[in-house]
Amino acid sequence: MRSKRQRDNAGSAAGLAYESIRDRIISLALPPGAPLNEGDLTNDLGLGLTPVRDAIKRLALEHLIVVYPRRGTFVSEINLADERWLTEARVEMEGLAAELAASRAGIEERRAIMSCVEALLGETHQLRINALDTEFHRLIYRAAHNPFLEASLNQYLNLSVRLWYYCRDRLQVKTSDCDFHKQVADAIMAGDPQAARAGIVGHLRQSSADLRAVM
C-alpha cells in the first residue's frame, strides 16, 4: 500500500502531465490531428509513463484527444460548428457559476477575480489578454463552489479557447470587451448575482459573435 505522500506525488504528477499536454493542445503547439506518442511525451515532460497515460485518458474524455484501436492516439480535429453548441452550454452554465460566485465566494476569491480583471484592463497583447481571460473564467468556476459545475465548465472552456487560438490571426484586439469583465467582477464584489450573470452572458455572446464573424 502506498503512503499518503506517494499518493499525493502521483496525483501531482498526473495533474502536471494533464495540464502540460492540455495547454499544448489548446494553444495548437500540438496541432489538430497530430499523432501522440506516450514515450515522447514522457521524455519531453520529464514525467513517468503512468501520469502521462492517465492524462491521455482524461483528455480523451474531454474531447481533446482521440484514441483509435490499432491506429494510435491523436489530437482531436477542430470542428468550427462546435462553437455554437459550446456557447449555448456555457451561457447557461456560466451564468449560474457567476451567480453562485457572487453569493458564495470568499473575500480572497472575490479579490482574486478583481485583480485578474484589473490586469486585463491594462493589457494590450493579444495572447496575454487571452491568458488573463482564461484565468478569469477559471477563477469564477472555482468561486462558485460547485465541483461538478467547475469540472464541466473547465472542459468547455478548454474547447472554446482552442477555437480562439485557431481563429486568433483573424481576430482584432478589442479593449471594449473588458467592460463585461469589469461588470462581472464588480457584481461579484458587491454580491449581486443577477448583475454577475448578465455580465458573463454578455461577454460570452460578444465573444461568440466575434469568433463567428471570422470563421
Q: What is the pLDDT of residues 100-117, one digit of tens each?
A: 999 999 999 999 999 999
- Mean of the per-residue pLDDT values for the chain? 92
Report pLDDT for 6.
36
- Any idea what the Cα angle at residue 122 is, between residues 19 and 176, rounded to 5°? 95
- Superfamily grouping for domain 82-214: GntR ligand-binding domain-like (1.20.120.530)
Whether 93 has a pLDDT exceeding 60, the answer reads: yes
Report pLDDT for 167.
93
- Greatest Cα pair distance in the chain: 56
Please check whether the domain covering 4-75 is classified as CATH 1.10.10.10: yes
C-alpha cell at 143: 468561486
Domains in the chain: boundaries: 4-75, 82-214
Locus of grid cell 453569493: 103
How do residues 14-40 score in pLDDT, each as one tens digit? 899 999 999 999 999 999 999 999 999
Report pLDDT for 173.
66
pTM higher than the cut 0.75: yes
User: Residue 104's closest CA among 133, 56, 145?
Assistant: 145
SS3 state at 195: helix
CA distance 57 to 55: 5
Locus of grid cell 499544448: 24
